[in-house]
Amino acid sequence: MLEQLELFRLPPAVDDATKTQHIILSGRIVGYELRRDRRRLAMRIDERGLRVGAPRGVPLAAIEDFIRTHGDWVLAKLDEFTSRVAPRHLPIHDGARLPVLGEEVRVRVTSGGNRGYWREDELWLAARPAADLAALARRALQRRALEHFRPRLGDLAARVDRPVPALALTAARSRWGSCSARSGIRLNWRLIHLPPHLIDYVIAHEVAHLVEMNHSPRFWAVVERLYPDWQAARGELKRRGAALPLL
């Protein structure tokens, strides 16, 4: 039960484990976010820049040696994202617009105790002066995602005569979902940006794995029974998923 609760736990509204640092690579000053809550050293680069994860006990000098070892790759990836015409990173502020279930919702920011809530077709962020608005928005979107995913998962599991599996959210960058006989189904919370029919396709795909834990013809037959137009949905998901905003 403890493991299951951990899977559902949302990130804190303000992340004290994240600090901004700077390093010089080939004569260039590069800023990066450092998180000291990881099991091993790791780097990630996207529209938001360089982010580094490290265990708490690793000295800053060792972390920066690790970055320098991959310096050429870091600079090349940063240049790649900088050159893109339409960056996907979406700043959160009063009046910003977010896609939710395929429709645009407006963000409203007001003073409050660092929480997000929904009022009709608007996302309200009641924030303290130093709050991380993007983190507040992510938490609200993740709650909305669970509210939408749970009943759809239940409906589709019933159609293949399987008990409803445990559901957890993931923030994976390369996968929309996964299914495990031990831990249940994980769905990427960013699916909440997409129209409901594409969310249904992803859930149908993972539910089919409750019957066939593979990608055999038998598996795709189950997918087709749950979602007959799965091939068109898969193509649409690839196109629209690549353009989703990053918060």
Taking only the tens place, the pLDDT of each residue in 153-208 is 999 999 999 999 999 999 887 789 999 988 899 999 999 999 999 999 999 999 99
Q: What are 183's two structure tokens? A: 């831990």
Please tell me the class of the 140-241 domain: alpha beta
Looking at the chain, the whole-number percentage of residues with pLDDT higher than 90 is 62
Q: In what helix (H) or strand (E) does residue 14 lie, and over which residues does it extend?
A: none
Per the structure block, which two tokens stand in for 147? 């509210």
Expressed in percent and rounded to 5, the helix, strand and coil fractions of the chain are: 40, 25, 35
The bridge status of strand 28-35 relative to strand 18-25 is: antiparallel
Interior CA angle at 138 toward 181 and 53, to 5°?
A: 75
Q: Compute the C-alpha angle 239/240/245, nearest 5°.
A: 130
CB 26 within 8 A of CB 71: yes
CB atoms within 10 A of CB 82: 10
pLDDT at 4: 35
Residue 72: Cβ-neighbour burial (10 angstroms; 0-12, 13-18, 19+):
exposed
What's the whole-number mean pLDDT along residues 73-97?
A: 79
CATH 3.30.2010.10 range(s) for the chain read: 140-241
Q: Which amino acid, residue 95?
A: G
